[in-house]
Amino acid sequence: MSELAHGTLAGLAEIADTGRDARRGGYSRHLWQGPDLELRAWFTERAERLGLGVETDRNGNLWAWWGEPGPDAVVTGSHLDSVPGGGAYDGPLGVVSALEAVARLRASGFTPSRPLAVLVFAEEEGSRFGIACLGSRLLTGGIDAGRARALVDADGVTLAEAAHRAGLDPAHLGVDREALARIGLFIELHVEQGRGLIDLGRPVAVASSILAHGRWRLTVTGQGNHAGATLMGDRRDPLLAAARAVVAVQDEALNHPGARATVGRLEVVPGGTNVIASSVHAWLDARAPTDAATRDLVTAIEAAVGEAVTVNGCSVAVTEESWTGTVTFDAVLVGRFRAVLGGGALVPALPTGAGHDAGVLAASVPSAMLFVRNPTGVSHSPEEFAEVDDCVAGIDALASLLRSLL
């Protein structure tokens, strides 16, 4: 990222070494753990240097205010956490671009007529506590606070304990009507996570919609036993059953137009080389073009997986962990933003299969997104990328929108 070391994207260069994951490649930046804490300190320092006043809300989201906080504020931002082994742009590009757009407005002597904040959401990827967009869900009441407090990370630490260690009062986690009421409009700039802008040959788009999506835990239960002493015909091996289940997930997704279904995480219990597992947890991520299509897909997966595991004498229990309905961004706002940015021929409207805090917020406040071209078309991976010129085009677009709104 050496070409970013100066100029408008210096922010990305400043955090380029934070949270690098030597084992997985890419970055692992998880809520309130070392790298995430460093990024929060970096953001605070950066925003304060710009003359913004930084505060943390009751759910751990960071707000950097230009002027007095709300009401009717224009708010822009994204997140700084990552998936395990993620790329450099998913989240940070939106935060760095927001700070840069504000820096430009300030440097030009612009005086806003309404408050503006740069917002950094906590735990957008759900990599530590399992629920994506946790900060925005808590803020908007999209998750029950009691349920959220009881979420546990891989080390058995509850969200309540982690929040306490991070200096928050766990009793105050949950819907924050006061903070929400300050938002007049939210804009999230994000690296594109598919190939839409590559195919169209454009650097920047406005988001039109987000696929319905959710996460389900599949717990496959068999019989733990000895790897050497148990004849092949005497086994009830849940890992073999889980392997069949993973194939069944793919087959069902292929049967449902526009659907995507993924098992990207397995936990084998107890997990010994010479031990036939007793159970396997597999996490399903399923997405489809409508709420009904996504529900149909998951119903079909449950049936197929239930049947698949019986071949190995196992059973499966399916638990829903999170759900986000289809998001259609406000068409008037999308049209207005495209017009401000030069018209539809220059700035397309694109749907996405990736989830975002802007999608969660859209149920409560007017929300919109800008996408910046990703020439690899790859995301949630170290291969995720954006050219400097396209990032600059994204910042230009965001600054123009902010100027038109303020």
Q: Which residues are annotated as a binding site?
A: 79, 90, 125, 190, 215, 274, 287, 380
Question: Are the CB atoms for 119 and 62 separated by under 8 Å?
Answer: yes
- By CB under 6 A, the residues from 197 to 256 that bind ligand GLV are none
- Residue with the two structure tokens 């839409």: 196
What DSSP string describes 179-225?
HHHTEEEEEEEEE--SSHHHHHT-SEEEEEEE-EEEEEEEEEE---E
Nearer to ligand GLV, 65 or 216 (CB): 216
Nearer to Mn ion, 99 or 316 (CB): 99
397 binds ligand GLV (CB under 6 A): no
Distance CA 357, CA 371 (A): 14
Q: Which of 211, 214, 210, 212 shows the shortest CA–CA distance to 323?
A: 214
Residue 132 partner contact from Mn ion, ligand GLV, none using kind-dependent CB cut-offs of 5 to 8 Å:
ligand GLV
Residue 91 partner contact from Mn ion, ligand GLV, none using kind-dependent CB cut-offs of 5 to 8 Å:
Mn ion
- By CB under 5 A, the residues from 290 to 349 that bind Mn ion are none
Positive or negative torsion for Cα 85, 87, 91, 97: positive
Among 99, 117, 168, 354, binds ligand GLV (CB under 6 A): 354
Among 355, 360, 369, 386, binds ligand GLV (CB under 6 A): 355
| Smallest separation (angstroms) from ligand GLV to the CB of 136 | 12
| Smallest separation (angstroms) from ligand GLV to the CB of 324 | 9
Instruction: Give the contact letters, 311-350, x = binds to ligand GLV (CB under 6 A), - = no.
Output: ----------------------------------------
What's the length of the chain? 406
359 binds Mn ion (CB under 5 A): no
369 binds ligand GLV (CB under 6 A): no
192 binds Mn ion (CB under 5 A): no
| Smallest separation (angstroms) from Mn ion to the CB of 226 | 41
Q: How many residues bind ligand GLV (CB under 6 A)?
A: 4
Phi/psi at 54 (5° precision): -100, 135
| Smallest separation (angstroms) from ligand GLV to the CB of 133 | 8
Reading across the β-sheet that carries 279-288, which strands appear in turn?
260-269, 279-288, 212-221, 315-324
Question: Are the CB atoms for 69 and 114 separated by under 8 Å?
Answer: no
Among 70, 91, 203, 348, binds Mn ion (CB under 5 A): 91
* Token code pair at residue 374: 């990703």
359 binds ligand GLV (CB under 6 A): no
358 binds ligand GLV (CB under 6 A): no
Residue 355 partner contact from ligand GLV, Mn ion, none using kind-dependent CB cut-offs of 5 to 8 Å:
ligand GLV
Task: Catalogue the long-range contacts made by 335-338 (C-beta closer than 8 Å, 24 or more residues apart).
Answer: 337/206, 337/368, 337/370, 337/401, 338/206
| Smallest separation (angstroms) from ligand GLV to the CB of 172 | 26
| Smallest separation (angstroms) from ligand GLV to the CB of 21 | 17
Among 117, 132, 361, 397, binds ligand GLV (CB under 6 A): 132
| Smallest separation (angstroms) from Mn ion to the CB of 249 | 20
Query: Within the chain, what is the greatest distance between any pair of CA atoms?
Result: 78
Helix and strand numbers (H, E) in the chain are: 13, 15
Distance CA 166, CA 152 (A): 15
Facing residues of 225 across strands?
276
Nearer to ligand GLV, 161 or 321 (CB): 321
The CA–CA distances, whole Å, from 377 to 108, 194, 346, 369, 399 equal 35, 5, 20, 18, 25
Nearer to ligand GLV, 54 or 191 (CB): 191
DSSP state of 4: G
Facing residues of 56 across strands?
62
| Smallest separation (angstroms) from Mn ion to the CB of 73 | 22
Which residues bind to Mn ion, rule: CB under 5 A? Answer: 90-91
Which residues bind to ligand GLV, rule: CB under 6 A? Answer: 125, 132, 354-355
